[in-house]
Amino acid sequence: GNSVTQMQGQVTLSEEEFLFINCTYSTTGYPTLFWYVQYPGEGPQLLLKVTTANNKGSSRGFEATYDKGTTSFHLQKASVQESDSAVYYCVLGDSNYNVLYFGSGTKLTVEP
Amino acid sequence: NAGVIQTPRHKVTGKGQEATLWCEPISGHSAVFWYRQTIVQGLEFLTYFRNQAPIDDSGMPKERFSAQMPNQSHSTLKIQSTQPQDSAVYLCASSLDPGQDTQYFGPGTRLLVL
């Protein structure tokens, strides 16, 4: 079946520090991997999509890649800002993108 | 573009009552998805429709939960005889084409069953 494991439940950083969040996935098909971000009182919104292993997706200063060999994917940002504080989800799309499988989320708090 | 609209934003019901949640997808989107979000289980898929037809309801609880899409402009999720464990945020998402496009989420309906 399809599943995503996201181990970091909470990350606290100071502004301008480096962010790295890692997930592992399991699927029997060809994965499409996403990162969604959720702000309080809102639904999740797409941050990045990565469709090809070892290729980078990037948006708003965030970068994401995945490694098919280790079935892992990660999100990074060189210098976080207080406005980046939110919950970040690694998400696996099934082979037809019909269903999204969410990780448990990483709550990022960026302190000024 | 108003985005996905969900009503009500908050709903409180007594145990055993019925709850109906509404979703209006983005105009022109052919696919509608329902998810449930709780602290314990996280974000879980419930069901989805394509061009108003039910395609996959593998995440729906077998009893008391049902979903419909009577027209292209709205979908409903109905929970009969609500139980405290049904308390959650119910999220609706739509996409232009389920195989090719991003899912856009609404703000959710927070259901509290007392």
The per-residue pLDDT for A96 is 67
User: Mean per-residue pLDDT for A4-12?
Assistant: 94
Give the model confidence (pLDDT) of A50-73 as tens digits.
876 667 788 889 999 888 888 888
Give whole-number Cα distances, B4 to A9, B12, B28, in Å. 28, 22, 11
Q: What is the pLDDT of residue A75?
A: 95
Which one of A34, A51, A97 makes the best mutation probe of the B interface by having the most chain B beta carbons within 10 Å? A97
Contacts of B38 in chain A (CB under 8 A): none
Average pLDDT, chain B: 94
Digit-coded pLDDT (tens) for A22-31:
999 998 877 7
Best mutation site among B9, B29, B43 for testing chain A: the one with the most A CBs within 10 Å? B43
Residues of chain B with Cβ-Cβ distance to A96 below 8 Å are 98-99
| Choice between A22 and B102, residue whose per-residue pLDDT is larger | A22
- Tell me, letter by letter, the H, E, C secondary structure of chain A: CCEEEECCCEEEEECCCCEEEEEEEECCCCCEEEEEEECCCCCCEEEEEECCCCCCEEECCEEEEEECCCCEEEEEECCCCHHHCEEEEEEEECCCCCCEEECCCEEEEEEC
pLDDT value at position B99? Answer: 66
